[in-house]
């Protein structure tokens, strides 16, 4: 359908965009081997000493662990709340439905610093159940993770025919069975890709975390501290390079899983 | 499915049926319970926090002890809306956010089209991974890498020099911020646009060709309008995220690159003047509220 | 049905309103304890068992492994440091979350009084800190950390804000602060992103425009203040970037974006260690500087580890290590000999053997107050400085 010229230019464009996306990442990986403390161009020399020193750095381990815990918890909460919200909004008509949709998008649409400030003041005011630390980090992250899951699930629900549910019940399944055998498989891949995105956002979050972490360091906060200091920067590069390498597999798998269901395009 | 019928679990199975029948007949009950969970979370924590923050914008702080002084006044708002400095900063922030959004839309569209229509399923999966992976490589590390690329003796000038082109002095400037922001939020624009284009049935494009439209005409009249909600959805992210950011201006901004976020952060994280920060934070709040209303009209919410 | 909708909306709005008013009304104090002084009674008479952890707020370069790791090994207190690039940040961090999130802060003179006034720090018993006896006399009970004989922390290190320049690109070597106000190096200059920088401008004006009558760069009346702000606004087009993180300045020099800057010796040392041709100097007009104190939070969760830290960091060897690393002067006079052991000549280089005259020549950071100290009360206070700074850099 597209002309040959169009095809070629689109291929070229695609390659340029990929190059654009990965140039900084290539630099990050290459500079993990930087001989010098300070980043400068061109690279001054190669060494693998940073890998060892990062591995033995207790601060990194603590920060990484905290980030993982927070991301897992926030994603889990988001999956439950986001799915519930998505179903409520898509399947039922009630007053204020538009407003609810609007509210659910606020955490992503409002600047992170507002969310961070607001939650910080709130935690200080309310006090007891919200002592600064892992708990408050999780709450902060959950606010936008819920939104991500909500959007993914509701998009999928909208593309699914409601007659599937009716058919299930006509065949004698009760509510729980319908959910387990019909609804859940339909939304499962949307949940997976949404959960992965939510996890990524939580894992890499800086702004809201700055205000809700108290004295603790998540990985991004640790990275920021190292960037401030300007010493031993290659340790940051090492950590990021390793994370990229480790996440290639899960991201690819999640992608393979989320092949579209519902309306097929080429039928 | 029939295992519970004969066994001793029969009463619980029957109870479950009765319960689900109740929910079926009173659909609103199910809806309410489902909604209650996330709504409670949001209302009691997130919304309450936002409202309290907005209220504090009407208060002030004692300069020496930075204690909150709860006397109602409009001083903060007056300063924010009349002082030229704050106006300049707000205009700069909104301007760059808009530039970033337009840039990302232009860059993402052909890429998303390629992904949706020209790529084989395997290629498509690969491209997906390639687009999502940068989100896992720390935002901070990527912005910091741009510092190296754009520096006076950095990678970009080194390449331009090798190619015999004049070098650029764009490090630590608004240009640098524009480039870096466009880079960072690109995946957020690509995904919704891809989703929108991918939903266009082949038959539409075939029909368009059948009716005699050449390539560009089809793109303009069929693809673009249908991809538009996706563009708007992506623009919500690029615009909002740029509007509220303060880290990229800190890392790659120059002498005249202060963003609203920087002023807010300087007042909260540094000067501990939360009321003033909250007052200034109403600017991006209002801008985004307006943007969301417009985006909704343009159908972005269905395309997220 | 429509009426029902309105009723429901009204109910929702009322709910949100009640919620907000309640939160606003009965919210607890959100700025730290308000009883001035934070004096919680008798001072401890000995250091108790360590709590296993210590949360610090420190300047970049103050918590290097070199002296932190031996401390952790000896006392079992795991150090967790959060960096701050300005006194404002330190004050805010100390007050964050109602105070008590951090145990100690390495506050400079322009933060310490604010912290004391805000009740965020508590007095310490200097008898428990042996290094104190060997302190440089002016730093034993300086006005910025000792009030009415109560010591709110122990002096740590002190030093000047220097003029940093690229020796290859800036010739001849600059001897005056005029270098950073000179259009000759337009777009290649950097200064700190910190309202206290106004004092540096005032210091410069005190010698170049003596009829303004500036004697103390932190006590400025309206005319003096306006002059300083104007100078900074004129300087703005020359500035490449206002550095907020130490690494900003390091990267700016390393990658050729900047050739002149107002700096800390920490940047000089880091750049020179990486073979970048830079040097720093204290220009003829003099310099502002800092005198830091490790202060103990009024709500510290790990007070024993905090005392252990104060004891450790004031001993001659850690003092020497930190002084050489950062490029500052230790409070403990015995550190001088140790500095020369580590790096011959470093004691003299970093004024470890300083006398009163040199000490007095540095205009240490202090919080600008409306009270000018000489009977007049029309000086600009710090809020005015902050607002002016936003205007300058905005």
Q: Tell me the per-residue pLDDT of A169-206, one tens digit each, with 9 for 90 and over.
A: 788 777 677 777 888 888 888 888 889 889 999 999 99
For chain C, say whether B302 makes contact (Cβ under 8 Å): no
Per-residue pLDDT band at B160 (split at 50, 70, 90): very high
pLDDT at position A177: 76
Residue C379 vs residue A88, higher pLDDT: C379
pLDDT in tens, B202-231: 888 888 888 887 777 777 888 888 888 889
Per-residue pLDDT band at B65 (split at 50, 70, 90): low
pLDDT at position C38: 42
Which of B3-7, B252-256, C245-249 has the weakest average pLDDT?
B3-7
In angstroms, rounded to a whole number, what is the distance separating the alpha carbons of residues B123 and C271?
46
Q: Beta strand C260-263 with C287-297: parallel, antiparallel or unpaired?
A: unpaired
Per-residue pLDDT band at C226 (split at 50, 70, 90): very high
Which one of A85-89, B96-100, C40-44 scores highest in mean pLDDT? B96-100
Per-residue pLDDT band at B64 (split at 50, 70, 90): low
The proportion of chain B whose per-residue pLDDT surpasses 90, expressed as a percent, equals 33
pLDDT at position B9: 53
Mean pLDDT value across residues C379-387: 86
Tell me if B240 and A109 make a contact (CB, 8 A cut-off).
yes
Residue A262 vs residue B266, higher pLDDT: B266
pLDDT in tens, B88-111: 999 999 999 999 999 999 999 999
Mean pLDDT value across residues B272-300: 85
Residue of A nearest to B207 (CA): A1
Mean pLDDT value across residues C316-329: 92
Tell me if C270 and A41 make a contact (CB, 8 A cut-off).
no
Mean pLDDT of chain B: 85
For chain B, say whether A242 makes contact (Cβ under 8 Å): no
pLDDT at position B110: 93
C382 min Cα distance to partner chain A (Å)? 23
* Selection from C353, C302, C351 nearest residue C326 by Cα: C351
pLDDT at position C91: 87
Residue B258 has pLDDT above 70, yes or no: yes
What is the reported pTM?
A: 0.87
Which of B42-56, C154-168, C212-226, C229-243 has the weakest average pLDDT?
B42-56
> Please, are residues C177 and C163 in contact by the beta-carbon 8 Å criterion?
yes
- Going from the C-alpha of A178 to that of each of A136, A171, A258, the distances in angstroms are 36, 10, 21
In angstroms, rounded to a whole number, what is the distance separating the alpha carbons of residues C344 and C336?
10
pLDDT at position A30: 93
Residue A88 has pLDDT above 90, yes or no: no
pLDDT in tens, A233-246: 899 999 999 999 99
| Residue B43 DSSP class | I
Residue of C nearest to B168 (CA): C257
Residue A53 vs residue A264, higher pLDDT: A53
Residue C91 vs residue A93, higher pLDDT: C91
Residue C212 has pLDDT above 60, yes or no: yes
Residue C380 has pLDDT above 80, yes or no: yes
pLDDT at position A23: 94
Tell me if B140 and A224 make a contact (CB, 8 A cut-off).
yes
pLDDT in tens, A12-70: 999 999 999 999 999 999 999 998 888 888 888 899 999 998 998 888 999 999 999 99
Residue C39 has pLDDT above 50, yes or no: no
pLDDT at position A1: 60
- The vertex-A243 CA angle with A239 and A245, nearest 5°, equals 120
How many residues make up chain C in this entry? 394
Per-residue pLDDT band at C296 (split at 50, 70, 90): very high
For chain B, say whether A121 makes contact (Cβ under 8 Å): yes
Of B43, B52, B274, Cβ closest to residue C24:
B52
pLDDT in tens, A122-153: 888 787 777 888 989 999 999 989 988 988 88
* Selection from C109, A216, A163, C244 nearest residue B266 by Cα: C244
For residue B111, what is the enclosing H or E element?
A: helix B84-113
A216 min Cα distance to partner chain B (Å)? 16
For helices A184-203 and A134-158, the axis angle rounded to 10 degrees is: 140
Mean pLDDT value across residues C39-57: 81
pLDDT at position A239: 94
Residue B279 has pLDDT above 80, yes or no: yes
| Residue C179 DSSP class | G
Mean pLDDT value across residues C95-100: 77
Of B28, B186, B247, Cβ closest to residue A21:
B186
Mean pLDDT value across residues C93-117: 86
Q: Enumerate the residues of chain C whose CB falls inside 8 A of the CB of residue A217.
A: 80, 82
Per-residue pLDDT band at A266 (split at 50, 70, 90): very low
Of A40, A58, A215, Cβ closest to residue C102:
A215
Of A41, A124, A225, Cβ closest to residue C98:
A124
Residue of A nearest to B217 (CA): A2
Mean pLDDT value across residues B136-147: 93
Mean pLDDT value across residues C70-89: 90
For chain B, say whether A257 makes contact (Cβ under 8 Å): no
Say if residue A162 is exposed, middle or buried (CB neighbours under 10 Å; 0-12, 13-18, 19+): exposed
Residue B295 vs residue B185, higher pLDDT: B185
Residue C32 has pLDDT above 50, yes or no: no
Mean pLDDT of chain C: 86
For chain B, say whether C240 makes contact (Cβ under 8 Å): yes
> Please, are residues B66 and C95 in contact by the beta-carbon 8 Å criterion?
yes
Query: What is the count of residue pairs from B and C with beta carbons less than 8 Å apart?
Result: 113
Tell me if residue C158 falls in helix, strand or coil.
strand
pLDDT in tens, C144-166: 889 888 999 999 999 999 999 99
pLDDT at position C42: 73
* Selection from C308, B276, B207, B227 nearest residue A117 by Cα: B276
For chain A, say whether B91 makes contact (Cβ under 8 Å): no
pLDDT in tens, B14-40: 777 777 676 666 666 776 777 777 778
Q: Which chains touch B (3 or more CB pairs under 8 A)?
A: A, C
The proportion of chain B whose per-residue pLDDT surpasses 70, expressed as a percent, equals 88
Q: Enumerate the residues of chain A whose CB falls inside 8 A of the CB of residue B132.
A: 196-197, 200, 251, 255
Mean pLDDT value across residues B178-190: 95
Mean pLDDT value across residues B171-179: 93
Residue of A nearest to B127 (CA): A18
Q: Please, which residues have CB within 8 angstroms of residue A11's CB and are 6 or more apart in sequence?
A: B114, B118
pLDDT at position C179: 94
Residue B236 has pLDDT above 70, yes or no: yes
pLDDT at position C372: 80
- Going from the C-alpha of C208 to that of each of C160, C164, C177, C225, C230, the distances in angstroms are 20, 21, 10, 15, 14
* Selection from C197, C345, C307 nearest residue C263 by Cα: C197
B81 min Cα distance to partner chain A (Å)? 18
Tell me if C394 and B88 make a contact (CB, 8 A cut-off).
yes
Q: Enumerate the residues of chain C whose CB falls inside 8 A of the CB of residue A31.
A: none
> Please, are residues C166 and C259 in contact by the beta-carbon 8 Å criterion?
yes
pLDDT at position A193: 83
Residue A260 has pLDDT above 70, yes or no: no
Touching A: B residues 254-293, CB under 8 Å = 260-261, 264-265, 268-269, 274, 277-278, 281, 284-285, 288, 291-292
Residue A155 vs residue B154, higher pLDDT: B154
Query: What is the count of residue pairs from A and C with beta carbons less than 8 Å apart?
Result: 78
C125 min Cα distance to partner chain B (Å)? 24
Per-residue pLDDT band at C31 (split at 50, 70, 90): very low
Q: Beta strand C189-192 with C260-263: parallel, antiparallel or unpaired?
A: parallel
The proportion of chain C whose per-residue pLDDT surpasses 90, expressed as a percent, equals 57
Per-residue pLDDT band at A165 (split at 50, 70, 90): confident
For chain B, say whether A29 makes contact (Cβ under 8 Å): no
pLDDT at position C217: 92
């Amino acid at each position: 359908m597209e002309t040959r010229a169009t095809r070629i230019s689109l291929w070229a464009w695609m390659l340029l965009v990929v190059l654009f996306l990965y140039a900084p990442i290539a630099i990050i990986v290459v500079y993990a081997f930087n001989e010098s403390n300070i980043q400068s161009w061109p690279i001054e020399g190669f060494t693998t000493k940073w890998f060892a020193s990062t591995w033995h750095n207790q601060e990194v381990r603590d920060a990484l662990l905290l980030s993982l815990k927070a991301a897992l918890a926030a994603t889990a909460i988001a999956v439950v709340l986001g799915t519930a919200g998505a179903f409520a909004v898509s399947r039922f008509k009630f007053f204020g439905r538009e407003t609810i949709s609007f509210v659910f998008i606020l955490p992503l649409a409002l600047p992170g610093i507002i969310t961070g400030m607001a939650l910080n003041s709130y935690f200080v005011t309310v006090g007891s159940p919200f002592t600064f630390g892992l708990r408050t980090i999780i709450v902060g992250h959950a606010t936008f993770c819920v939104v991500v899951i909500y959007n993914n699930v509701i998009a999928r629900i909208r593309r699914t025919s409601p007659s599937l549910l009716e058919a299930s019940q006509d065949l004698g399944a009760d509510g729980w069975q319908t959910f387990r055998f019909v609804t859940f498989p339909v939304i499962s891949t949307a949940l997976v890709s949404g959960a992965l995105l939510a996890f990524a956002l939580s894992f890499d979050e800086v702004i809201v975390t700055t205000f809700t972490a108290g004295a603790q360091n998540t990985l991004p906060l640790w990275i920021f501290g190292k960037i401030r200091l300007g010493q031993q920067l290659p340790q940051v590069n090492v950590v990021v390079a390793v994370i990229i390498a480790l996440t290639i597999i899960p991201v690819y798998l999640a992608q393979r899983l989320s092949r579209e269901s519902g309306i097929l395009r080429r039928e | 499915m029939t295992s519970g019928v004969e066994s001793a679990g029969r009463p619980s199975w029957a109870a479950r049926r009765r319960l689900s029948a109740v929910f079926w007949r009173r659909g609103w009950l199910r809806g309410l319970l489902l909604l209650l969970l996330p709504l409670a979370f949001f209302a009691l924590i997130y919304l309450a926090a936002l409202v309290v923050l907005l209220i504090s914008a009407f208060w002030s702080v004692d300069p020496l002890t930075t204690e909150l002084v709860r006397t109602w006044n409009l001083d903060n708002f007056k300063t924010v809306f009349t002082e030229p400095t704050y106006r300049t900063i707000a205009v700069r922030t909104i301007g760059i956010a808009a530039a970033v959004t337009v840039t990302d839309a232009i860059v993402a569209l052909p890429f998303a089209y390629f992904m949706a229509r020209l790529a084989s399923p395997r290629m498509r999966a690969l491209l997906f991974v390639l687009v999502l992976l940068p989100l896992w490589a720390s935002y901070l590390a990527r912005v910091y890498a741009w510092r190296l690329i754009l520096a006076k003796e950095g990678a970009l000038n080194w390449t331009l020099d090798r190619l015999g082109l004049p070098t650029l002095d764009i490090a630590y400037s608004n240009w640098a911020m524009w480039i870096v922001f466009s880079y960072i939020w690109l995946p957020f624009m690509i995904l919704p646009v891809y989703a929108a284009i991918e939903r266009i049935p082949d038959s539409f494009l075939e029909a368009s060709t059948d009716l005699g439209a050449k390539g560009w005409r089809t793109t303009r009249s069929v693809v673009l309008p249908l991809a538009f909600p996706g563009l708007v959805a992506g623009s919500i992210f690029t615009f909002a995220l740029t509007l509220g950011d303060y880290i990229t201006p800190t890392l790659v901004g120059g002498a005249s690159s202060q963003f609203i976020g920087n002023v807010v952060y300087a007042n909260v994280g540094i000067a501990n003047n939360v009321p003033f920060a909250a007052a200034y934070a109403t600017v991006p709040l209002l801008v985004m509220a307006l943007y969301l209303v417009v985006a909704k009209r343009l159908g972005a919410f269905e395309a997220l | 049905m429509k009426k029902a909708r309105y009723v429901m909306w009204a109910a929702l709005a009322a709910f949100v309103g009640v919620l907000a008013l309640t939160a606003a009304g009965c919210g607890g104090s959100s700025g730290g304890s308000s009883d001035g002084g934070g004096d919680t009674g008798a001072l401890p008479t000995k250091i108790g068992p360590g709590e296993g952890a210590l949360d610090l707020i420190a300047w970049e370069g103050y918590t290097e492994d070199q002296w932190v790791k031996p401390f952790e090994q000896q006392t079992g207190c795991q150090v967790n440091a959060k960096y701050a690039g300005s006194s404002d940040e330190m004050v805010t961090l100390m007050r964050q979350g109602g105070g008590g999130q951090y145990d100690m802060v390495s506050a400079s003179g322009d933060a310490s009084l604010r912290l004391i006034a805000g009740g965020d720090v508590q007095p310490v018993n200097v008898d428990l800190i042996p290094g104190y006896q060997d302190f440089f006399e002016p730093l034993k009970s300086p006005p910025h950390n000792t009030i009415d004989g109560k010591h709110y922390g122990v002096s740590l290190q002190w030093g000047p804000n220097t003029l940093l320049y690229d020796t290859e690109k800036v010739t001849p070597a600059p001897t005056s602060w005029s270098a950073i106000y000179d259009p000759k190096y337009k777009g290649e200059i950097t200064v700190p992103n910190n309202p206290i920088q106004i004092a540096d401008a005032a210091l410069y004006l005190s010698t170049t425009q003596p009829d303004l009558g500036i004697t103390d760069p932190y006590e400025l009346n309206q005319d003096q203040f306006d002059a300083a702000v104007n100078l900074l606004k004129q300087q703005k087009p020359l500035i490449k970037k206002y550095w907020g993180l130490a690494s900003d300045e390091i990267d700016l020099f390393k990658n050729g974006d900047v050739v002149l800057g107002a700096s800390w010796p920490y940047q000089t040392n880091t750049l020179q260690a990486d073979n970048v041709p830079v040097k720093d100097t204290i220009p003829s007009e003099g310099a502002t500087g800092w005198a830091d104190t490790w202060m103990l939070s009024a709500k510290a969760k790990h007070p024993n580890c905090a005392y252990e830290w104060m004891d450790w960091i004031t001993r001659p060897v850690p003092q020497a290590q930190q002084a050489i690393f950062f490029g500052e002067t230790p409070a403990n006079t015995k550190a001088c000999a140790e500095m020369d052991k580590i790096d011959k000549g470093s004691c003299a280089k970093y004024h470890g053997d300083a006398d009163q005259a040199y000490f007095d020549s540095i205009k240490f950071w202090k919080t600008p107050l409306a009270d000018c100290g000489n009977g007049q009360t029309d000086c600009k206070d710090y809020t005015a400085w902050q607002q002016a700074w936003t205007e300058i850099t905005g």
